[in-house]
Amino acid sequence: MSDLKSIYELALVAIISEAKDTSIDTGKLISGAKAGILSNSYYSSVGTEEKIQILDLLNGVLADSELSSHYV
């Protein structure tokens, strides 16, 4: 994993973790983001390979945020 990718991933974990702490439905939030990536929303102007990587990252970020909330 590149340093830049790990920085972005950590930033997403932090955002999702904080969103959970404010009672935001993070499952719904991430599902909406994944749907937007798949439906060629305005923020998903990348190729298929990148979309697959983004979806994998979002799945991992949700799992990581669930783990990190146990350590707070």
Enumerate long-range contacts of 16-23, CB under 8 Å, 24 or more apart.
Answer: 16/61, 16/62, 16/64, 16/65, 17/65, 17/68, 17/69, 17/72, 20/65, 20/69, 21/69
Nearest to residue 54, comparing CAs of 4, 3, 2, 5?
5
- What's the total number of domains in the chain? 1
Q: Read off the pLDDT band of 44 (50, 70, 90).
A: confident
23-27, 55-59, 60-64, 67-71: which has the minimum mean pLDDT?
67-71
Burial of 62 (0-12, 13-18, 19+ CB in 10 A): buried
Whole-model pTM: value is 0.70
**Residues of the domain holding 37:** 3-71
